[in-house]
Structure 1
Amino acid sequence: MSFKYVRSLLAVILCMTASTAFSNRSVVCEDYNPLRTAFFGDTHIHSRYSLDASTQDTRTTPEQAYEFARGKKLGVQPWDENGKALRYLQLSRPLDFAMVSDHAELLGEVSVCNNPDSELYSSWQCWMLRDFPRGGYFLFNLVGMSEGKRLGFCGENGELCRKAAIGPWQQIQAAAESANDRCQFTSFIGYEWTGAPDSQNIHRNVIFKNSQVPELPVSYIDGPSAEQLFQSLEEECRSNESGCDALTIPHNSNLSNGLMFPTVIKDGTPITSEDAKLRASYEKLVEVMQHKGSSECYFSQDAPLGNADELCNFEQLPYNQFSGRTFSFMKEAPKSNGGFLRQVLVEGLQQEKKLGENPFKFGMIASTDTHLGAPGATDEDNFIGHGGAGSPNKDKVKAGLPDALEFNPGGLAVLWAEENTRESLFAAMQRREAYGTSGPRISVRFFGGHDYPENLCKSHDFIKEGYTRGVPMGGDLTISEKAPSFAISALKDPGTKNSPGTSLQRVQVIKGWIDNKGQSREKVFEVAGNPDNGASVDLNTCERKGEGYASLCTVWQDPEFNPEQSAFYYTRVIENPSCRWSQYICSASKVDCSKPETIDEGLEGCCSPDHQPIIQERAWSSPIWYTPS
């Protein structure tokens, strides 16, 4: 080898090294904001690679899902004989970030069953999935997501299907890498770990910090418990030196029947402080709302007047596990201990007293769980269904209501970050400076401290003082004998030119604590606005009526503070009443329930006793925790 050749080779290596170093160097965005900006996104999106989406003829690729998030029009099923979509969707406002979260389970199985070149394509299971998709869905779902097993055609130890999953997983990664546009739009690599023992939902979305990810996603088949998921991520991600890191986001715990957040491990023994610490290191956030309902708090339909918080009766499903929707003999009403987050947050305080670690110390976000590959499609007045839960609309455009009556368009995740980059947004998730909305783009600031001045809302330095004198949502208060005070600011969703946002009605603080007898307690405080402002909706036109607020701001101090009691506080911002998605359709169709001739096919739900024509959209902040010495 000549000296000239060696010198040239060294020059190439040095150039490549310098180029890599430069590309990896953090460059501050032009609109970098040290006081942080609210970025809106969706971390729960299914494409054609998910079993349930594919059986409903969703053809959206991960690339197309990201394009839709950025504002491009998307064609969705049904399709004509030439493959042209018969319906289209487009966001009125693009998102700032998104993550496609296809099911890790059956990723390979779905791939081979839709690939004529695969040797497994002609198996009876694949034939059933293609020709009888609803039956195939139940079979594959039962084996893979409920029992945590591979189907018979996958070969010894499921190797054929594991190998087949590599291609889709690489395509999911490639789509996220291609869509990621530093400072403009952030796309995260991730997936859904879909455990459903006995049809009880313990699903979690796994979101990676960067492009360093495992060769294959850890599935429920690989590790059929949350503890095994965390341990596998420790081994395959965090423990190596590649820079891999991940968070897991539990979603719609309202369908878990209480199994989402156990205080015992799989063999029935109580969790230890190490178990709690490991869980808390991964589960910084939780999904408070999505297409399949709200999980914030429990409401009793049988005794609504006896419930301390009637606003918990918001998008609550009428059953406690997903099979209850399909099989009447499995349908049970939701229970107070069914996995609702407010109760789980209080249980976290109880566990912290026992273990010294809080396993359920999570902030709140929301997302859609769209199975059309349509992230951020949360507008009530333009909802065509999300698939995966309600009607698939596979063969023709369904007449009347496009989705099951109990479902909704889902919500949005909001992160307070300095700039729109993976590094900054992931850091916001880690510190829980996040909140969720039921769809609107409400802006919420929530700070906790001990010496906020009462006139802070009149100050131009509200945000700066919020950080300087205390902690933001997701944070921990320092120990003090003085009652904490909270600085809260909320701005209405400005909406668009064609669809103005709804005015705000009120702001609440929800407190949960452990009293001196060791009992779990909770209370709702009205802190700003007016719950009796007389705002209403004309159900015939869906026109909103009455006064409201463009902004609400207050400094509130806990009047019942006890420095010896552990507590958490979070803010709930409530809009004026507006029409629910179903009522927009009923109203536009001029349904009059007193005149049967006006109730066309598919619109029977408009006159169902379960139909709620009016809702109050909202936002939920992440909690702030107080812990005594």
Structure 2
Amino acid sequence: MHKFTLLSACLALTALPATAQIKPSAQSLQGLYPGKAYSPYAQRSFPSHVYWGETHLHTALSPDAGLFGNKLGLDEAWRFARGEEITSTTGQPVRLSRPLDFMALTDHSDMMGFATDLFAGAPAIVETEQGRGWYEAMQQGGEVSANAALDLITNFAQGTLDPKLVAAYSPGSAAYNAVWQQVIDAAERYNEPGRFTAFIAYEWTSLYKGNNLHRNVILRDGARRAEQVVPMVTQPPIGSTDPLDLYTWLENYEVKTGGNALAIAHNGNLSNGLMFPVDAQYTGREIDETYVMARNRWEPLYEVTQIKGDGETHPKLSPEDEFADYETWDAGNLDLSEAKTDDMLAREYAREALKTGLMLEQKLGTNPYKFGMVGSTDSHTSLSTAEEDNYFGKATSAEPSIHRATHPFAETDKGIYPGWSLSASGYAGVWATENTRAAIWDAMKRKETYATTGPRITVRFFGGWEFDENDLRSRQPAFRGYEKGVPMGGDLRAATSDAPTFMVYALRDPIGANLDRIQIVKGWMDGDGTLHEQVHDVAWSDNREKGADGKLPPVGNTVDIEAANWTNTIGASELATVWTDPAFDPAQKAFYYARVLEIPTPRWVLYDKLRLGAEIPPEATLVGQERAYTSPIWYTPQG
């Protein structure tokens, strides 16, 4: 008897006309998988990868990097970010644990290239009395050179530079335009779509009486468009320190070139209350419809964490938040020319600004502080290092040495930033469809981003009205997230239930620490216009139970101080949950973002002690809980 084998069946099937071959209908898959085909990866259009990058880094082209010893230029910075080993300015071999996926080199637009030309004795500099004096001091090195650099920076900040020097290194001059072309050319050389994205960018360095109002400008475009413009500067007569003038530059760029640009506000903790104005800018100009609409359009992101401290919130702003006092810098403004006062804090930190934005939207119709979150280093070493065990400091003077923890970063009679207080932070995580300028820039524009203090924690955060625990069971939460809700950075769709639900998933850094907990931070404005906040623990490790006060017990601490080590014997490798707001009021504006905390791990000072034998001040913080902050999701009442 002939046996009908599997092979015979397959041959018979292939012999059928194409129109007769068996195909499952879309209806046959209903109830089996929520996608549109059996393969969950077919026809997928949503962002499926998180890309890690840096949006704030300086090379020797920046005056406050080159003047203080940084000798590394554009090529070294790009090579390092792509994963190559290089030699630091202080002669130390250095390499990232893993390459970055993208970077924006953001050298200061004012006097760009001046420092490198000063050391080289460029004629345009040494022909002036000021320039010749600084050049001769730089050749001597040591304390003489350092004092000259401080004098130069002071003259720049006070507007007392020789007009000939300003003219020689302002946009439009031969020297300045040549440097801008070098910036463009270097980004083009290292941009490799699909592997590494190199953005053309710069930092607009508004500094009003020592108060930091910097913004990093990132172009979506390549050389063809970038070459049609020169960066915005702050020095008169062609520059301005007013953010409204920067927004005009951004608009003119798009009109002139047909390209796209955005700005990222610098961490505001050194602005002494000027970064997030409520009634008027420092210029005295009222916060009006023009301001709120322009800021909303041009600043989709905020740098919430970096080397000079963390900017999520402050313990005096969030006294009920047990994790609010993290890498806090609150002695004063950028140059410590003015001490910090408590009334300044509310206009400096992300959480308070997000709340203030709800109020301004009610008043003026647009929320100027509807921003997403990113982290970056703001390093001035050309080295984007944000890991505690591989930290090369803020400046060349803070590269690994036996003295860096004890040597102040800055000190005046107004206050001090101790050397040990510098933070090994941070990076930007971006959910994008591919590793290209267009895809990553578009993700930043729509705020599908999050910040970490260094670890590469994977976080998904979605908001909707109908999420339930079953949406996590497939281990593919993003499919249900995009289908039923909106991702981080989005606005909740029209209500279909009594309260919004949020689906959040976090996976530890593969070479990092376990996770302690996931929290959802809610901010809202009640009917009287009063602003509120609350932090909810929504997922946590180790089967802990909340106490009678509603607080979750600490996760524990496995840090070995002497060995600068920890063990992943506590915490969880992943955490996920669906959470429903228990106090939702459909009449109240609100926002929600996720904060993910690691278990305690050593700060960089312990690695200095272990590897260098460095003395660590007794007041230094030795252990911290690194974290991630997602961009918020907003709710606005209908009608």
Q: TM-score, normalised by structure 2?
A: 0.83
Q: Deviation per CA, 1:506-526: give whole Å up to 9, x if none.
A: 000001111122111111000
Aligned twin of 1:470: 485
Which deviations, in whole Å up to 9, do the C-alpha atoms of 1:545-570 show, x marking residues without a partner? 44111100000010010001001100
Alignment map for 1:203-242 (pairs within 5 Å):
203-211=214-222, 212-213=225-226, 214-221=228-235, 222-235=239-252, 237-240=253-256, 242=257
Counterpart position of 1:67: 79
Shift of 1:540: 1.8
Q: Do the aligned partners of residues 160 and 520 (structure 1) sit closer, same or farther apart at CA in structure 2, a change above 3 Å counting?
A: closer
C-alpha displacement at 1:32, in angstroms?
Answer: 9.1
Q: Quick check: 2:207–2:241 contact (8 Å CA) kept in 1?
A: no
> In the aligned structure 2, how far is the partner of 1:374 from the partner of 1:159?
26
Alpha-carbon distance between aligned partners in 2 of 1:148 and 1:484, rounded to the nearest angstrom: 52
Separation of aligned partners in 2, 1:512 and 1:34: 28
The SS at the match of 2:356 is helix
- How far, CA to CA, are the matches of 1:418 and 1:32 in structure 2? 10
1:349 equivalent in structure 2:
358
**Matches of 2:299 and 2:427 in 1, distance apart?**
18
CA distance in 2, matches of 1:223, 1:346: 29
Alpha-carbon deviation of 1:245? 1.4
* CA distance in structure 2 between the aligned counterparts of 1:469 and 1:149, rounded to whole angstroms: 58
Aligned to 1:81: none
Quick one: structure 1 residues 99 and 31, their matched pair in 2 at CA, closer, same or farther if it must change by over 3 Å? farther
Q: 1:164 aligned to 2:167?
A: no
**1:119 Cα deviation after fit:** 3.2
* 1-structure distance, mates of 2:210, 2:560: 40
Distance in 1 (alpha carbons) for counterparts of 2:345 and 2:170? 42
Look up the SS of the partner of 1:114 in the other structure.
helix
Q: CA–CA distance in 2 between the matches of 1:508 and 1:483? A: 18
Mapped partners of 1:284, 1:317: distance in 2: 24
Q: Residues of 2 paired with 1:282 and 1:435: CA distance?
A: 18
Q: State the match for 1:332 in structure 2.
A: 340
1:174 is matched with which residue: 185, 188, 195? 185
Q: For 1:149 and 1:430, how far apart are their aligned partners in 2?
A: 38
1:587 Cα shift?
Answer: 4.3
Match 2:577 to one of 546, 549, 554? 554
Q: 1:570 aligns with which of 572, 593, 607?
A: 593
Matched, 1:533 2:555: yes
Counterparts of 2:627 and 2:555, CA distance in 1 = 16
* Contact 1:507 1:571 (8 Å CA) reproduced: yes
Identity of aligned residues (%): 35
User: Could you tell me which residue of structure 1 aligns to residue 627 of structure 2?
Assistant: 618
- For residues 442 and 172 of structure 2, the distance between their equivalents in structure 1, rounded to whole angstroms, comes to 35
Does the 8 Å contact 2:273/2:345 carry over to 1?
Answer: no
**1:135 alignment partner, one of 124, 147, 158:** 147
Question: What is aligned with 2:321?
Answer: 309
Give the superposition deviation at 1:266.
Answer: 5.4
Shift in alpha-carbon separation, 1:219–1:574, aligned structure 2, 3 A: same
**C-alpha spacing 1:372/1:226, structure 2 compared with 1 (3 Å):** same
* Equivalent residue, structure 1, for 2:292: 276
Note if contact 1:573-1:618 (Cα within 8 Å) is conserved in structure 2. yes
**Hey, what's the Cα distance between the residues in 2 that align with 1:620 and 1:578?**
18
Structure 1 pair 155–344 and aligned structure 2 pair: CA distance change class (3 A): closer
Contact 2:54/2:103 (CA < 8 Å) preserved in 1? yes
Quote the residue 2:52 is aligned against.
40
1:583 is displaced (CA, Å) by 2.0
**AA aligned opposite 2:230:** L
Going from structure 1 to structure 2, the CA distance change for 1:315 and 1:141 (only over 3 Å counts) comes to same
Residues 293 and 32 of structure 1, relative CA distance in 2, 3 Å threshold: farther
Q: C-alpha displacement at 1:589, in angstroms?
A: 5.8
Partner of residue 593, structure 1: none
1:108–1:166: 8 Å Cα contact kept in structure 2?
Answer: no
Indicate which of 416, 427, 430 corresponds to 1:412. 427
Contact 1:539 1:587 in 2 (8 A): no
Distance in 2 of aligned mates of 1:66 and 1:491? 28
CA RMSD of aligned residues (A): 2.5
**2:244 alignment partner AA:** E
Q: Which amino acid aligns with 1:219?
A: V
Counterpart position of 2:307: 291
SS at match of 2:176: helix
Q: Which residue of 2 aligns with 1:518?
A: 529
Amino acid at match of 1:410: S
Moved more, 194-203 or 477-486: 477-486
| Cross-structure match for 1:248 | 263
2:429 & 2:631 partners in 1: Cα distance?
A: 10
Distance between the aligned counterparts of 1:268 and 1:188, measured in 2? Answer: 35
CA contact (8 A) 2:58 2:107 kept: yes
For the 8 Å contact 1:44–1:369, the answer to whether it is kept is yes
Alpha-carbon shift at residue 134 of structure 1 (Å): 2.8
2:395 is the counterpart of 1:373: no
How far residue 232 of structure 1 moved from its aligned partner, in angstroms, is 1.9
Instruction: Give distance in 1, aligned partners of 2:277 and 2:106.
Output: 24
Inter-partner Cα distance in structure 1 for 2:276 and 2:591: 18
2:602 counterpart (546, 565, 579): 579
Task: Summarize the Cα distance change of 1:126–1:88 in structure 2 as closer, same or farther, 3 Å threshold.
Answer: farther
Deviation at 1:199, TM superposition (A): 0.7
Q: Point out the structure with max Rg over C-alpha.
A: 2
Partner Cα separation in structure 1 for residue 191 and residue 482 of structure 2? 30
Q: Tell me which amino acid in the other structure corresponds to 2:304.
A: V
Name the amino acid aligned to 1:443: T
Q: In structure 2, do the counterparts of structure 1 residues 151 and 397 end up closer, same or farther at CA, with 3 Å as the change threshold?
A: farther
Count of aligned pairs between the two proteins: 558
Partner of 2:210: 199
1:384 matched to 2:387? The reply is: no
* CA gap 1:129/1:292 in 2 versus in 1, 3 angstroms: farther
Partner of 2:38: none
Q: 1:342 & 1:66 partners in 2: Cα distance?
A: 33
Offset of residue 43 of structure 1: 0.9
Alignment of 1:80-99 (within 5 A): 86-99=91-104
Compared with structure 1, are the counterparts of its residues 250 and 35 closer, same or farther at alpha carbon in structure 2 (3 Å cutoff)?
closer
Match of 1:51 in 2: 63
Contact 1:190 1:208 in 2 (8 A): yes
**1:115-158: CA deviations, max 9, x gaps?**
434232343332444424433333333343x4467533337697
| Cα distance, 1:584–1:33 mapped onto 2, change above 3 Å | farther
Separation (CA, whole Å) in 2 of partners of 1:117 and 1:142: 21
* Inter-partner Cα distance in structure 1 for 2:383 and 2:306: 13
SS across alignment from 2:55? strand
Greater CA drift, 425-434 or 127-136 = 127-136
Alpha-carbon distance between aligned partners in 1 of 2:401 and 2:163, rounded to the nearest angstrom: 36
Kindly state the Cα deviation for residue 196 of structure 1 after the two structures are TM-superposed.
Answer: 1.1
CA 1:554–1:274 in structure 2 vs 1: closer, same or farther (change >3 Å)?
Answer: same
Q: Which amino acid aligns with 1:363?
A: G
1:255-295 per-position Cα deviation (integer Å, ceiling 9, x unaligned): 11111122324542422223211111110001010110101
Q: CA deviation at 1:479?
A: 3.4
Q: TM-score, normalised by structure 1?
A: 0.84
Residue by residue over 1:180-214, the C-alpha shift from the partner in whole angstroms, topping out at 9 and shown as x without a partner, is 00100000000001111111100110000112225
**1:608 pairs with 618, 624, 637, which one?**
618
Alpha-carbon distance, 1:544 to partner: 1.7
- Describe the shift of the 1:156–1:381 C-alpha distance in structure 2 as closer, same or farther (beyond 3 A): closer
Query: What is the Cα deviation at residue 248 of structure 1?
Result: 0.5
- In structure 2, how many angstroms separate the alpha carbons of the residues matched to 1:487 and 1:48? 44
What's the CA shift for 1:33? Answer: 6.6
Measured in 2, the distance between the counterparts of 1:32 and 1:372 equals 40
> Residues 355, 487 of structure 1: CA spacing in aligned structure 2 closer, same or farther, 3 A cutoff?
same
